[in-house]
Amino acid sequence: MAGVVHVDALEKVFRVPEREAGLRASLRSLVNRQWREVRAVDGVSFDVEAGEVVGFLGPNGAGKTTTLKMLSGLLHPTGGGARVLGHVPWGREREYLRRMTLVMGNRNQLQWDLPALDSFELNRAIYRLPREPFRETRDELIELLDIGDLVRKPVRQLSLGERMKVEVVGSLLHLPQVLFLDEPTIGLDVTMQKRIRNFIAAYNERYGATVLLTSHYMADVEALCKRVIVIHHGKLLFDGRLEALADRFGAYKTIEAVLADGETISMQVPRNETSAATARLLAENEVHDLTVEDPPIEDVIEQVFAS
Amino acid sequence: MSVMNAQAGAVRSMVDFYLTGMRTQIQIGFQYRAATYMYTIGMLSEPVIYLVVWRTIADQHGGTLNGIGGGQIAAYYIVWTLVRTFNIVFTPFGWEWRIREGELSAQLLRPIHPVHYDMATFAGQKIPWLIMYAPLAVGLGFIFHPSLHPRPLEVVVFFVAIWGAYVIRSLNHFVLGMLTLFTTRATALFQIWFLTELLVSGRLVPLTFMPQWAQSIAAWLPFKWTFYFPIEALVGAMSTETLLTGLLWQCLWAAIGSALVFVTFRLSVRHYSAVGN
């Protein structure tokens, strides 16, 4: 049984012109233009079930945004297939577009010169939402993200973080069942990041929406995602629970011990030597307290990308 | 019955979208009153230059040119300004910006064809422009003494024709703009298009001033239906048959434009690389 999001060997190859710098290369390119194929997404497959919040991780250029753009119908794939909510995304059926949203951290769909409420009203007309339920949803989302005082100001007078909050609300007014969130907290301070995170969690819980989230902030991923999908160079590297990522890619563990004389010992040991190192520590010292921890998720991810 | 209800609902929703889109743009127009006014004044400079030139030439030829008097030339170019206010649409040159800034991506994610978005918003912009244009038109009338005596039917056809001109130009420019998705720098092509429009639309000069062969070419192109026909509907002495046939020609060009938008859109979105924000 396929999930709400079903991705099957999805591929996207971009053909980009390429030439050396300089006038000579420029003239040469007039008669002999060189092209290079960039395999942005290379046979990625996964399923996401209804109501899941999945972190979609990878370094810059890994193919995350390209995958999200294909799943939201912006890009046509070069190969493979996908279905979201039973629709082929790039078929761009209205019924599909009414049930999903793509939020990109640096995209602005709001009218710059008007208060956000006017943009919300335009969204109501675009999504053909009945007025009364629309008002209820709008007010509920505004309250949930506490932006009542922001939506009456012209958008151009909002800070980046304020605009992002308003943008997120604008993207959810039609109560999409699937959310593709591409770096929704990029450039925001920690307080604002937390607000957005809490809001996404609340929306997911309240409406049972399926969320596929990319973020370079591991705090976003840890707070929201039980499952992560990691891609690198367009290929899927890992698909599983967040903790399992550390088991598989965490090269070391951190052992911390508080000795009887109050001294604290901290050491990183290779993962496969953890038991032996712990036993040795306990045999050689009088230990009052002992903790063995996986490395921080940032370090694990770094390890994954380096591998 | 349920199919009819669904269709009626779809039409109601589309009307609601157009009215809301227009309201939004009216608000933006009034938000920047001074800028809108400057823009309107700037737009008038082009026809006023044409008017002064042709009026001067007419005066040097005993007051008429090709049988058209100075008052009629004034009427032509003053009505030109009103037609121009209506037939301004989203420029194809703006598509590069639209792609780079991610605006096209935002529009493609919405469950409505982007051409409707352009048409609704630019229709809304006409309202503040018209309000600001009215006193300027009166001023031009006092300066240039136009000779304008339309029949009621000509007035009615004119008001339909200026919207027809708007629709035809919107669709054509949308198709042109979409070429940007195939080639990053499509502006050279746009220049050829606009040059042709300038020459055979009645924008630079009334078509009756042009040689017969140029008028024959113009008859087979969409341009004259976006400038010359609406202007002449009010200013000229067209027969009822010519007026109504003109509206039918506008419908035909709107249908051709719609078909081209439909086909080109389907082809071009496959090429879209969403490289912007």
Q: Are residues A69 and A180 in the same domain?
A: yes
Instruction: Quote the CA–CA distance of A259 and A262 in Å, as a whole number.
Output: 5
Residue range(s) defining the domain that contains residue A30: 5-247
Domain C-terminal end among A198, A215, A247: A247
Least confident residue range of A23-37, A57-71, A208-222, A275-289: A23-37
**B274 contact residues in A (CB cutoff 8 A):** 69, 74-75
Q: How is residue A138 written in tokens?
A: 């709008």
**A92 contact residues in B (CB cutoff 8 A):** 108, 269
pLDDT at B186: 79
Query: Per DSSP, what are the bridge partners of residue A257?
Result: A265, A290
Q: Are residues A97 and A232 in the same domain?
A: yes
pLDDT at B1: 60
Query: Per DSSP, what are the bridge partners of residue A77?
Result: none
Q: Of the segments A13-17, A114-118, B165-169, B264-268, which one has the largest average pLDDT value?
A: B165-169
User: For residue A20, what is the domain's CATH number?
Assistant: 3.40.50.300
- Grade residue A2 by pLDDT with cuts at 50, 70 and 90: low
Q: Of A232, A299, A216, which is closest to residue A61 (Cα–Cα)?
A: A232
The residue of chain A with its CA nearest to that of B31 is: A113
Mean pLDDT of chain A: 88
User: Could you report the per-residue pLDDT of A153-175, keeping only the tens digit for each?
Assistant: 999 999 888 888 899 999 999 99
**B110 contact residues in A (CB cutoff 8 A):** 97, 126-127
Q: Are residues A90 and A207 in the same domain?
A: yes
B26 CB neighbour count, 10 Å cutoff: 18
CA dihedral A117, A122, A123, A129 (to 10 degrees): 100
Residue A208 burial class via C-beta count within 10 angstroms: exposed 0-12, middle 13-18, buried 19 and up: exposed
Q: Are residues A16 and A108 in the same domain?
A: yes
Least confident residue range of A109-113, A181-185, A221-225: A109-113
CA dihedral B11, B13, B16, B20 (to 10 degrees): -130
Q: Are residues A235 and A258 in the same domain?
A: no
ipTM: 0.86
Which residues lie closer than 8 Å to A235 by C-beta, 6 or more apart? A42, A43, A44
A127 inside 8 A of chain B by CB: yes
User: Could you report the per-residue pLDDT of A245-280, keeping only the tens digit for each?
Assistant: 877 777 778 888 888 888 888 888 887 888 888 888
Instruction: Quote the CA–CA distance of B248 and B242 in Å, as a whole number.
Output: 10
Instruction: Quote the CA–CA distance of B47 and B219 in Å, as a whole number.
Output: 23
Domain range list for chain B:
18-271
pLDDT at A16: 81
Q: Is A217 helix (H, G, I), strand (E, B) or coil?
A: coil
B231 CB neighbour count, 10 Å cutoff: 29
Q: How is residue A178 written in tokens?
A: 């699937």
A157 inside 8 A of chain B by CB: no
Q: Are residues A240 and A117 in the same domain?
A: yes
Query: Does residue A123 carry a pLDDT above 60?
Result: yes
Q: Of A164, A153, A104, which is closest to residue B104 (Cα–Cα)?
A: A104
The residue of chain B with its CA nearest to that of A101 is: B109
When pLDDT is averaged across residues B205-233 and rounded to a whole number, the result is 93
Least confident residue range of A88-102, A180-194, B112-126, B197-211: A180-194
Q: Are residues A210 and A282 in the same domain?
A: no
Instruction: Quote the CA–CA distance of A14 and B156 in Å, as a whole number.
Output: 53
Prediction pTM value: 0.86
The residue of chain B with its CA nearest to that of A119 is: B24
The residue of chain B with its CA nearest to that of A12 is: B273
Q: Are residues A165 and A35 in the same domain?
A: yes
Instruction: Quote the CA–CA distance of A7 and A84 in Å, as a whole number.
Output: 8
Query: Does residue B239 carry a pLDDT above 90?
Result: yes
Going from the C-alpha of A109 to that of each of A1, A166, B98, the distances in angstroms are 35, 10, 12
B42 inside 8 A of chain A by CB: no
| Inter-chain Cβ pairs, chain A and chain B, closer than 8 A | 77
Q: Of A16, A130, A11, A9, which is closest to residue A66 (Cα–Cα)?
A: A11
Domain C-terminal end among A247, A275, A295: A247
Q: Are residues A76 and A176 in the same domain?
A: yes
Least confident residue range of A104-113, B35-44, B105-114, B192-201: A104-113
Q: Are residues A262 and A159 in the same domain?
A: no
Q: Are residues A11 and A139 in the same domain?
A: yes
Q: Of A143, A223, A216, A155, which is closest to residue A186 (Cα–Cα)?
A: A216
Of A75, A102, A118, the CB nearest to B27: A118
Q: Are residues A260 and A232 in the same domain?
A: no
Task: Specify the residue for token string 């919405």.
Answer: B110
The secondary element (H helix, E strand) that includes residue B156 is: helix B152-178
Query: Does residue B9 carry a pLDDT above 80?
Result: yes
Instruction: Quote the CA–CA distance of B88 and B29 in Å, as a whole number.
Output: 14
User: Could you report the per-residue pLDDT of B110-164, keeping only the tens digit for each?
Assistant: 999 999 999 999 999 899 888 888 898 999 999 999 999 999 999 999 999 999 9
Q: Of A78, A76, A107, which is closest to residue A89 (Cα–Cα)?
A: A76
For chain A, how many structural domains are there in total? 2
Instruction: Quote the CA–CA distance of B171 and B190 in Å, as a whole number.
Output: 14
Instruction: Quote the CA–CA distance of B24 and A173 in Å, as a whole number.
Output: 18
Domain C-terminal end among A196, A219, A247: A247
A122 inside 8 A of chain B by CB: yes
